Amino acid sequence: MRILGIDPGLAIVGFGFVDKEGHKVTPVQYGCIQTEAHTPEEERLLHVYEGMVQLIDKYKPDAVALEKLFFSRNVTTALPVAQARGVLVLAAVQRGLPVAEYTPMQVKQAIVGYGKAEKRQVQEMVKMFLKLSAIPKPDDVADALAIAVCHAHSYSLNSKLNEVLRK
């Protein structure tokens, strides 16, 4: 199973493709889609959408996992991120891909085993778990890989639970 993890944003969209075979999760490709700061928002959204469509078409994931949007204070910065998230979900759904969402706490719990882990701990665990030579940069890329790994673990657990419930 190939999973695409996405850390949504308007300036930087982190992405990470991983393959899950049995209990083994291996990185396939990772990086980011970046947009220029002083470009009109609608052009930036189009760039994010088109970039994601190209990645999906090239790497052909079986599932997509995104971080749930969370904001507590600044609605102004949350709105562009929400719009970018919308075009990312649209790109996946148009290709018939199932989309899963995880809170930052769920991702931290899956990667580190502690829902309030520090960002650096998550990054180190992603590096170690995927046997990478360095922590992926920018941070959005490491976050996207963490989301993909979280889905790999959650998908297995949910599949087993569904099997038990069907019996």
Binding positions: 7, 67, 140
Contact assessment for residue 136 and residue 126, using Cβ atoms and an 8 Å cutoff: yes
The Cα diameter of the chain in Å comes to 56
DSSP run (H or E) holding 6:
strand 2-7
| Options 67, 124, 139, 163, the catalytic residue | 67
Which helix (H) or strand (E) element contains residue 138? none
Q: Which of 7, 57, 124, 143 is catalytic?
A: 7
The annotation places the binding site for Mg(2+) at: 7, 67, 140
Rg over CA atoms, the chain: 16
User: Torsions phi, psi of 90, nearest 5?
Assistant: -60, -45
What's at 26, amino acid-wise? T
Closest C-alpha to 145, from 1, 3, 41: 3
The question of whether 57 is a catalytic residue gets the answer: no
For residue 84, the tally of other CB atoms under 10 A from its CB is 27
Catalytic residue selected from 36, 57, 139, 140: 140
Query: Does 124 qualify as catalytic in the annotation?
Result: no
Q: Catalytic: 36?
A: no
Q: Nearest CA to 38 among 78, 10, 57?
A: 10
State the catalytic residues. 7, 67, 140
